[in-house]
């Protein structure tokens, strides 16, 4: 059982602020959490399972895991199922051949973008089949900063995903309730709750070798000279990207 601590309270507070500030959850929503098996999504599911107990707008929760097709399928299924059972959240395990398609058939030299697109598409489709109108992803504050830096460095534009995005084709809204939560705060919470929160080993051969990992290292290097760099980048995103976005408008 998740232990009530100051770390959980902090994550709940930051998550509630994001949900309220960007109108992520409305009365009667059915929210599907994309449960990857990593620390971020496991923490998000725990926090949302507690948030739904006292949030004034009532909502339901589902958890869906899109299995990419790597070797530890049964271990992943059993550990995530037990975790969801403990939280009282219905769990769906979806098998896919994404890894085979990306690495064996397509032999992508830069596979991360294609893999992410296929995984997101599968998650959105299965969420809709379960009757969910909202999909919650576990992107955190550091993901926000790194994504903006990636866009600036490789696309020549200052861009980042929105906190709340309506996907008209899938008929779901994609929300990111952890945008005010740092990766360090998530790690501390998961470590504290390590007896109950499962973290599945990532078997992807591209793990920690992507452009995102490189950008992460660059930000750390810049931070050694300017301790405010993360705060400054995040502030610019809120002011210059999110304040102008209309992605969060969903059908009534």
Alpha carbon 188 to its chain centroid, in Å, reads 17
- 160 domain-assigned: yes
Average pLDDT value for residue range 169-173: 87
Q: Which of 210, 17, 22 is nearest to 134 (CA)?
A: 22
pLDDT digit string (tens) for 70-97? Answer: 667 888 899 999 999 999 999 999 987 6
Tokens at residue 113, please?
A: 């973008």
Tokens at residue 190, please?
A: 């998961």
Distance (Å, rounded) from C-alpha 29 to C-alpha 13? Answer: 20
Alpha carbons within 13 A on the beta-carbon side of 155: 11
pLDDT of residue 171: 85
- 249 domain-assigned: no
H-type helices in 130-207, by residue range? 141-154, 183-192
Residue, of 230 and 201, whose pLDDT is higher: 230
The residue range of the domain holding 165 is: 6-244
Distance (Å, rounded) from C-alpha 43 to C-alpha 208? Answer: 20
Distance (Å, rounded) from C-alpha 142 to C-alpha 73? Answer: 29
- 225 domain-assigned: yes
- 50 domain-assigned: yes
- 250 domain-assigned: no
- When divided into structural domains, the chain yields a total of 1
pLDDT confidence band for 240 (50 / 70 / 90):
very high
Average pLDDT value for residue range 87-109: 78
Q: Which of 232, 22, 250 is nearest to 134 (CA)?
A: 250
Query: In this structure, what CATH number is given to the domain that contains residue 34?
Result: 3.40.50.620
pTM score, whole prediction = 0.91
pLDDT of residue 203: 61
pLDDT of residue 180: 98
């Amino acid at each position: 059982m998740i232990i009530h601590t100051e770390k959980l309270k902090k994550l709940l507070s930051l998550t509630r602020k994001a949900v309220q500030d960007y109108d992520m959850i409305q009365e009667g929503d059915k929210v599907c959490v994309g449960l990857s098996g990593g620390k971020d999504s496991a923490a998000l599911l725990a926090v949302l399972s507690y948030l739904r107990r006292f949030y004034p707008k009532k909502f339901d929760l589902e958890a869906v895991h899109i299995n990419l097709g790597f070797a530890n399928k049964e271990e992943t299924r059993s550990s995530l199922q037990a975790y969801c059972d403990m939280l009282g959240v219905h769990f769906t395990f979806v098998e896919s051949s994404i890894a085979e398609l990306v690495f064996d058939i397509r032999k992508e030299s830069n596979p991360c973008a294609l893999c992410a697109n296929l995984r997101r598409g599968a998650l959105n489709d299965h969420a809709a089949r379960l009757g969910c109108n909202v999909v919650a992803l576990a992107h955190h504050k550091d993901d926000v900063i790194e994504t903006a830096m990636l866009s600036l460095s490789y696309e020549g534009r200052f861009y980042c995903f929105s906190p709340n995005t309506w996907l008209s084709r899938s008929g779901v809204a994609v929300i990111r309730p952890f945008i005010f939560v740092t990766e360090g705060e998530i790690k501390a919470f998961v470590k504290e709750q390590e007896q109950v929160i499962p973290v599945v080993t990532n078997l992807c051969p591209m793990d920690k070798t992507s452009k995102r990992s490189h950008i992460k290292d660059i930000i750390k290097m810049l931070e050694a000279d300017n301790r405010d760099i993360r705060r400054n980048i995040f502030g610019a995103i809120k002011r210059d990207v999110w304040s102008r976005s209309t992605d969060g408008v969903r059908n009534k």
